Structure 1
Amino acid sequence: MFRRVRTGVRRSPVAARLLAIAAMLLVAAAAHLATTAEPVGRWVPLLVVGVVGAVVTGAPARLWPLPAIWLVATLLALTRDAPVDSSAAVVALVVGAAALLAAIAVDLRPVLRARRRRGAA
Protein backbone atom coordinates (compact mmCIF):
# COMPACT_ATOMS: atom_id res chain seq x y z
CA MET A 1 0.00 0.00 0.00
CA PHE A 2 2.76 2.44 0.93
CA ARG A 3 4.63 1.56 -2.22
CA ARG A 4 1.62 2.52 -4.35
CA VAL A 5 1.29 5.84 -2.55
CA ARG A 6 5.00 6.60 -3.01
CA THR A 7 4.87 5.64 -6.67
CA GLY A 8 1.87 7.90 -7.23
CA VAL A 9 3.56 10.79 -5.51
CA ARG A 10 6.80 10.26 -7.44
CA ARG A 11 4.89 10.35 -10.73
CA SER A 12 3.70 13.83 -9.93
CA PRO A 13 6.60 16.05 -8.84
CA VAL A 14 4.21 18.88 -8.00
CA ALA A 15 2.37 16.67 -5.51
CA ALA A 16 5.66 15.54 -3.99
CA ARG A 17 6.76 19.14 -3.50
CA LEU A 18 3.43 20.15 -1.99
CA LEU A 19 3.50 17.22 0.41
CA ALA A 20 7.10 17.96 1.40
CA ILE A 21 6.23 21.60 2.10
CA ALA A 22 3.10 20.62 4.03
CA ALA A 23 5.06 18.13 6.14
CA MET A 24 7.72 20.71 6.95
CA LEU A 25 5.11 23.30 7.86
CA LEU A 26 3.39 20.84 10.19
CA VAL A 27 6.72 20.01 11.85
CA ALA A 28 7.54 23.72 12.17
CA ALA A 29 4.15 24.44 13.73
CA ALA A 30 4.63 21.58 16.18
CA ALA A 31 8.08 22.88 17.16
CA HIS A 32 6.74 26.35 17.70
CA LEU A 33 3.90 25.10 19.89
CA ALA A 34 6.23 22.83 21.86
CA THR A 35 8.62 25.68 22.57
CA THR A 36 5.87 27.96 23.83
CA ALA A 37 4.84 25.25 26.32
CA GLU A 38 1.50 24.46 24.73
CA PRO A 39 -0.17 21.28 25.94
CA VAL A 40 1.21 18.11 24.40
CA GLY A 41 -2.18 17.31 22.89
CA ARG A 42 -1.86 20.35 20.62
CA TRP A 43 1.55 19.87 19.04
CA VAL A 44 2.13 16.09 19.03
CA PRO A 45 -0.64 15.39 16.49
CA LEU A 46 0.85 18.00 14.16
CA LEU A 47 4.27 16.43 14.50
CA VAL A 48 2.99 12.89 13.96
CA VAL A 49 0.92 13.81 10.90
CA GLY A 50 3.83 15.75 9.40
CA VAL A 51 6.44 13.04 9.91
CA VAL A 52 4.21 10.10 9.01
CA GLY A 53 2.86 11.92 5.98
CA ALA A 54 6.35 12.71 4.75
CA VAL A 55 7.73 9.23 5.35
CA VAL A 56 4.73 7.34 3.93
CA THR A 57 4.48 9.43 0.79
CA GLY A 58 8.24 9.66 0.41
CA ALA A 59 7.80 13.34 -0.37
CA PRO A 60 11.20 14.44 0.88
CA ALA A 61 13.86 12.22 -0.65
CA ARG A 62 15.90 12.60 2.53
CA LEU A 63 14.87 12.61 6.18
CA TRP A 64 17.16 15.35 7.51
CA PRO A 65 14.99 18.34 6.49
CA LEU A 66 12.28 17.39 9.00
CA PRO A 67 14.40 17.64 12.16
CA ALA A 68 16.27 20.59 10.64
CA ILE A 69 13.04 22.54 10.26
CA TRP A 70 12.15 21.55 13.83
CA LEU A 71 15.40 23.15 15.04
CA VAL A 72 14.90 26.27 12.92
CA ALA A 73 11.33 26.75 14.14
CA THR A 74 12.46 26.23 17.74
CA LEU A 75 15.20 28.82 17.38
CA LEU A 76 12.78 31.26 15.75
CA ALA A 77 10.32 30.79 18.60
CA LEU A 78 13.10 31.63 21.05
CA THR A 79 13.82 34.94 19.32
CA ARG A 80 10.28 36.25 19.68
CA ASP A 81 9.05 38.44 22.49
CA ALA A 82 6.36 35.91 23.38
CA PRO A 83 6.82 34.00 26.64
CA VAL A 84 8.76 30.78 26.19
CA ASP A 85 9.12 27.95 28.67
CA SER A 86 12.89 27.54 29.01
CA SER A 87 12.75 23.87 30.00
CA ALA A 88 10.49 23.05 27.04
CA ALA A 89 12.83 24.98 24.75
CA VAL A 90 15.89 23.09 25.97
CA VAL A 91 14.11 19.75 25.52
CA ALA A 92 12.96 20.79 22.03
CA LEU A 93 16.50 21.77 21.05
CA VAL A 94 18.07 18.57 22.42
CA VAL A 95 15.46 16.32 20.82
CA GLY A 96 15.76 18.21 17.54
CA ALA A 97 19.54 17.91 17.52
CA ALA A 98 19.39 14.18 18.31
CA ALA A 99 16.76 13.64 15.61
CA LEU A 100 18.87 15.58 13.11
CA LEU A 101 21.95 13.46 13.83
CA ALA A 102 19.89 10.27 13.54
CA ALA A 103 18.31 11.40 10.26
CA ILE A 104 21.70 12.30 8.79
CA ALA A 105 23.02 8.87 9.79
CA VAL A 106 20.04 7.15 8.16
CA ASP A 107 20.43 9.25 5.02
CA LEU A 108 24.16 8.56 4.76
CA ARG A 109 23.92 4.79 5.24
CA PRO A 110 23.14 3.95 1.57
CA VAL A 111 25.85 6.33 0.36
CA LEU A 112 28.47 4.73 2.60
CA ARG A 113 27.39 1.22 1.57
CA ALA A 114 27.69 2.12 -2.10
CA ARG A 115 31.20 3.50 -1.53
CA ARG A 116 32.26 0.33 0.24
CA ARG A 117 30.93 -1.81 -2.61
CA ARG A 118 32.77 0.25 -5.20
CA GLY A 119 35.94 0.08 -3.14
CA ALA A 120 35.67 -3.69 -2.72
CA ALA A 121 35.05 -4.39 -6.41
Structure 2
Amino acid sequence: MLRRVREGLHRWPAVARLVAIAALLLVAAAAHLAARSEPAGRWLPLLVVAVVGALVAGAPRHRWPLPAIWLVATVLAVTRGSAVDPGATAAALGVGAVALVAALTADVVPVLRTRHRRGER
Protein backbone atom coordinates (compact mmCIF):
# COMPACT_ATOMS: atom_id res chain seq x y z
CA MET A 1 0.00 0.00 0.00
CA LEU A 2 2.82 2.38 0.85
CA ARG A 3 4.33 1.72 -2.56
CA ARG A 4 1.04 2.60 -4.30
CA VAL A 5 0.73 5.85 -2.38
CA ARG A 6 4.36 6.73 -3.17
CA GLU A 7 3.87 5.98 -6.87
CA GLY A 8 0.72 8.10 -6.88
CA LEU A 9 2.58 11.00 -5.34
CA HIS A 10 5.35 10.73 -7.92
CA ARG A 11 2.80 11.38 -10.64
CA TRP A 12 2.31 14.82 -9.05
CA PRO A 13 5.74 16.08 -7.99
CA ALA A 14 4.29 19.30 -6.56
CA VAL A 15 2.17 17.32 -4.10
CA ALA A 16 5.20 15.22 -3.11
CA ARG A 17 7.17 18.42 -2.43
CA LEU A 18 4.33 19.81 -0.32
CA VAL A 19 4.21 16.60 1.73
CA ALA A 20 7.99 16.75 2.21
CA ILE A 21 7.78 20.38 3.37
CA ALA A 22 4.92 19.50 5.71
CA ALA A 23 7.08 16.72 7.15
CA LEU A 24 9.88 19.20 7.85
CA LEU A 25 7.44 21.57 9.55
CA LEU A 26 6.05 18.75 11.68
CA VAL A 27 9.57 17.77 12.75
CA ALA A 28 10.23 21.39 13.71
CA ALA A 29 7.02 21.52 15.75
CA ALA A 30 7.87 18.24 17.49
CA ALA A 31 11.38 19.46 18.32
CA HIS A 32 10.03 22.71 19.71
CA LEU A 33 7.61 20.84 21.95
CA ALA A 34 10.28 18.37 23.05
CA ALA A 35 12.70 21.18 23.95
CA ARG A 36 9.99 22.84 26.04
CA SER A 37 9.71 19.55 27.99
CA GLU A 38 6.19 18.84 26.84
CA PRO A 39 5.01 15.27 27.43
CA ALA A 40 6.02 12.78 24.76
CA GLY A 41 2.36 12.22 23.99
CA ARG A 42 2.22 15.69 22.46
CA TRP A 43 5.33 15.70 20.27
CA LEU A 44 5.96 12.02 19.46
CA PRO A 45 2.86 11.65 17.23
CA LEU A 46 3.96 14.71 15.27
CA LEU A 47 7.39 13.17 14.76
CA VAL A 48 5.94 9.83 13.66
CA VAL A 49 3.58 11.49 11.17
CA ALA A 50 6.49 13.57 9.85
CA VAL A 51 8.75 10.56 9.28
CA VAL A 52 5.94 8.59 7.62
CA GLY A 53 5.12 11.62 5.46
CA ALA A 54 8.76 11.95 4.44
CA LEU A 55 8.91 8.25 3.55
CA VAL A 56 5.71 8.44 1.50
CA ALA A 57 6.84 11.60 -0.29
CA GLY A 58 10.15 10.01 -1.17
CA ALA A 59 12.08 12.62 0.80
CA PRO A 60 14.62 10.12 2.17
CA ARG A 61 16.72 10.50 -0.94
CA HIS A 62 18.76 12.57 1.49
CA ARG A 63 18.16 11.76 5.11
CA TRP A 64 19.93 14.67 6.80
CA PRO A 65 17.24 17.42 6.53
CA LEU A 66 14.92 15.88 9.14
CA PRO A 67 17.45 15.72 11.99
CA ALA A 68 18.93 19.05 10.90
CA ILE A 69 15.57 20.79 11.21
CA TRP A 70 15.12 19.06 14.59
CA LEU A 71 18.36 20.65 15.81
CA VAL A 72 17.50 24.08 14.40
CA ALA A 73 14.04 24.07 15.98
CA THR A 74 15.49 22.94 19.32
CA VAL A 75 18.05 25.74 19.30
CA LEU A 76 15.34 28.25 18.35
CA ALA A 77 13.16 27.06 21.22
CA VAL A 78 16.04 27.57 23.64
CA THR A 79 17.08 30.99 22.35
CA ARG A 80 13.52 32.26 22.19
CA GLY A 81 13.58 32.90 25.90
CA SER A 82 10.65 30.72 26.88
CA ALA A 83 10.97 28.53 29.94
CA VAL A 84 12.67 25.31 28.94
CA ASP A 85 13.85 22.40 31.02
CA PRO A 86 17.65 22.03 30.68
CA GLY A 87 17.41 18.24 30.84
CA ALA A 88 14.80 18.03 28.10
CA THR A 89 16.76 20.48 25.98
CA ALA A 90 19.99 18.51 26.41
CA ALA A 91 18.18 15.29 25.53
CA ALA A 92 16.59 16.87 22.44
CA LEU A 93 19.94 18.26 21.29
CA GLY A 94 21.69 14.95 21.95
CA VAL A 95 19.13 12.90 20.07
CA GLY A 96 19.19 15.39 17.20
CA ALA A 97 22.99 15.35 17.00
CA VAL A 98 23.15 11.55 17.00
CA ALA A 99 20.40 11.37 14.37
CA LEU A 100 22.18 13.95 12.22
CA VAL A 101 25.49 12.07 12.35
CA ALA A 102 23.70 8.81 11.51
CA ALA A 103 21.81 10.45 8.63
CA LEU A 104 24.94 12.07 7.22
CA THR A 105 26.77 8.76 7.45
CA ALA A 106 23.90 6.99 5.69
CA ASP A 107 23.96 9.64 2.95
CA VAL A 108 27.73 9.79 2.45
CA VAL A 109 28.82 6.13 2.72
CA PRO A 110 27.10 4.93 -0.50
CA VAL A 111 28.58 7.86 -2.42
CA LEU A 112 32.06 7.09 -1.12
CA ARG A 113 31.66 3.39 -1.96
CA THR A 114 30.60 4.25 -5.50
CA ARG A 115 33.58 6.55 -5.95
CA HIS A 116 35.90 3.93 -4.52
CA ARG A 117 34.56 1.26 -6.92
CA ARG A 118 35.04 3.57 -9.90
CA GLY A 119 38.65 4.07 -8.85
CA GLU A 120 39.26 0.28 -8.78
CA ARG A 121 38.45 -0.18 -12.46
Q: TM-score, with normalisation over the residues of structure 2?
A: 0.92
How many Å separate the matches in 2 of 1:7 and 1:62? 18
Q: Deviation at 1:120?
A: 1.5
Partner Cα distance (1:59, 1:96) in 2: 18
- How far apart, in 2, do the equivalents of 1:113 and 1:3 lie? 27
Return the offset for 1:112.
1.5
Match of 1:61 in 2: 61
Give the CA deviation at 1:12. Answer: 1.9
Q: Secondary structure at the match of 1:82?
A: coil
Q: Does 1:52 align with 2:52?
A: yes
> Any idea what SS the aligned residue of 1:22 has?
helix
What corresponds to 2:12 in structure 1? 12
Residues 35-56 of structure 1 show CA distances to partners (whole Å, capped at 9, x for unaligned) of: 1011110000001110122023
Opposite residue 14 of structure 1, the aligned amino acid is: A
> C-alpha distance in 1, partners of 2:120/2:40?
49
Runs of 4+ in 1 over 2 A off after TM superposition: 1-11
Stretch deviating more after TM superposition (43-52 or 53-62): 53-62
